[in-house]
Amino acid sequence: KTTSRALATLYGFTAPHAGGISTQGGSASNTTSLILARNTLYPTTKRAGNGSHRFVLFTSAHGHYSLEKAAQMCGLGSDNVYAVPVDARGRMIPSKLEELVVKSKEEGKTPFYVNATAGTTVLGSFDPFVEISEVCKRHGLWMHVDGSWGGPVVFSARQRAKLAGVERADSVAVNPHKMMGVPLTCSFLLGPDMRIFHRANTLPAGYLFHESESESGSKSEEVWDLADLTLQCGRRGDSLKLALAWVYYGREGFEKLIDHAFSIAAYFAHQVSEKPNFVLVSENPPPCLQVCFYYARDGVLAQEEAENTRITSTIVQALIPRGFMVDYAPGERGAFF
């Protein structure tokens, strides 16, 4: 509780009951946030199920696939995950989000949840959280920020402006085991009020949970049985990994680590942009730590997407026997590094 509360404070969650829970990873954080949203906004679903609600949720077209898996697990179906178009920089377009929300209402569906992203999987883009939060507020939607990848930039004075508006979210996912170098697994789902987490997830288990009443008989608002506000019961002490790393490195140590990583990414992007046989896909400098590019002789891509994909794949396969693995992703002109 102490570690998650300290982490939550960095994201602007400073109310008395702010904090978070550790989870099995970013996908688990996103799934938990979806259940929190449904059970909070539509509390009867905890007992009665989705019923006649035709729930729909929204995420960036560049968002993580875990939202579709979460929708399947919650009985919503992946067809009810609406992909919101992105701009040229890979960021969700708030006006397009609102159009989809309005359209879903006109179709008799129940919009309830928006997933914004801090550091998309491929381009590393940060969605415009302030504008997205305004759409969510107008339509009564739960706003979740998937900061599994880019969330730790909150430690960097140079980079944290990319998270402007994150404090308006109802929940935020963060993975210290990624950008911060904390050992796997170390993931958190943070929020402004842990009582909401508790109300959404609690179930009676008198053989295990005994703190609904204090010794004086008065109702307690502080939750110490963490399993009663999460989807897990048995759990590992993953928060200790962050606690020890935080004590060892300090906030300044994390900041130096993150700033150094960003400087390397910026340097690499600049080098790629200067080479005649490469085409830079990422912004220069990139918004996060991914540097995306094509290999193309004289900087000219093939007309056919399939040919660009073939070139990328051939190089990837040739590098593997040499002990190197470079990932690639599909793009408008074919797969790129």
Residue spans per domain, the chain? 2-246, 251-322
pLDDT of residue 279: 98
Q: Which residue has the tokens 């979460």?
A: 70
Q: What's the CA gap between 137 and 59, in Å, rounded? A: 16
Check whether 309 has a pLDDT greater than 90: yes
- For residue range 51-82, list pLDDT tens digits in order: 999 999 999 999 999 999 999 999 999 999 99
Q: How confident is the model at residue 223 (pLDDT cuts 50, 70, 90)?
A: confident
- As a whole number, mean pLDDT of residues 236-244 equals 95
| pLDDT value for 211 | 65
DSSP string for 117-142: EBS-TTT--B--HHHHHHHHHHHT-E
Give the pLDDT confidence score for residue 229 in this predicted structure.
79
Question: 119-142 burial string, b = 16+ CB within 10 Å, else e?
Answer: bbbbbbbbbbbebbbbbbeebebb
What's the pLDDT score for residue 221?
A: 73
User: Residue 249 burial (CB < 10 Å; 0-12/13-18/19+)?
Assistant: middle
Kindly report the average pLDDT of the chain as a whole number: 94
CATH of domain 2-246: 3.40.640.10
Q: Is pLDDT above 80 for 45?
A: yes
pLDDT per residue as tens digits for the range 135-161:
999 999 999 999 999 999 999 999 999
How much is the pTM? 0.94
